[in-house]
């Protein structure tokens, strides 16, 4: 009897399909915020601030979609992997990191409504949040990679002779 290859569109595969956009956009939001600390030109700094805001907006909204799809995958994968503690830690760091990015996003929005005497404090706190969140993003990604590449989370494991690929 020849095994059948499962559909690529399995529920546990939705997470890796949705997680890469927020990883890139949140990474870029943090990096552009860091670069804006160094750049002296007002025009370049304005561009970097706008880029930070756009990347943060896309990253936060798509990040919560990735959290949702991660929850869907969690209930499936937690029974299939050898060390579910790594999955739980990945989940915790993903939530913590996205909450920090969401706080930075809300602070950036608040700058449009807060009196100017508080704006420097808010900008400083915002930059600190974006830098701290970047480390959380790296660690969350590291844990996610270890789940996939060390434990095979979300992956299909073919038979020893790969007979399901022969037609």
Residue 11 has pLDDT above 90, yes or no: no
Q: How confident is the model at residue 2 (pLDDT cuts 50, 70, 90)?
A: low
**pLDDT tens track for 128-156:** 999 999 999 999 999 999 998 998 887 77
Q: How confident is the model at residue 27 (pLDDT cuts 50, 70, 90)?
A: very high
Q: Distance between CA 49 and CA 55 in Å, rounded?
A: 10
For the chain, give the percent of residues with pLDDT over 70: 96
Q: What integer pLDDT is reported at residue 104 of this predicted model?
A: 97
For 47-75, letters b (16+ CB in 10 Å) and e give: ebbebbbebbebbbebbeebbebbeebbe
Return mean pLDDT, the chain.
89
**pTM of the complete model:** 0.88
Q: Distance between CA 42 and CA 58 in Å, rounded?
A: 24
Q: What integer pLDDT is reported at residue 131 of this predicted model?
A: 96
Cβ burial of 16 (10 Å; 0-12, 13-18, 19+) is middle
Q: What integer pLDDT is reported at residue 3 of this predicted model?
A: 63
């Amino acid at each position: 009897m020849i095994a059948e290859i499962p559909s690529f569109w399995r529920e546990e595969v939705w997470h890796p399909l949705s997680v890469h956009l927020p990883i890139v956009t949140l990474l870029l939001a943090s990096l552009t915020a860091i670069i804006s600390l160094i750049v002296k030109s007002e025009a370049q700094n304005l561009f970097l601030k706008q880029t930070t805001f756009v990347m943060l907006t896309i990253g936060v909204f798509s990040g919560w979609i990735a959290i949702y799809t991660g929850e869907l995958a969690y209930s499936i994968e937690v029974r299939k992997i050898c060390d579910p503690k790594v999955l739980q830690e990945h989940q915790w760091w993903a939530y913590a990191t996205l909450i920090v990015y969401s706080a930075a996003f809300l602070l950036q929005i608040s700058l449009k409504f807060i009196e100017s005497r508080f704006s420097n404090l808010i900008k400083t706190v915002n930059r600190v949040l974006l830098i701290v969140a970047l480390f959380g993003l790296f660690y969350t990604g590291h844990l996610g990679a270890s789940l996939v590449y060390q434990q095979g989370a979300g992956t299909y494991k073919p038979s020893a002779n790969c007979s399901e690929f022969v037609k």
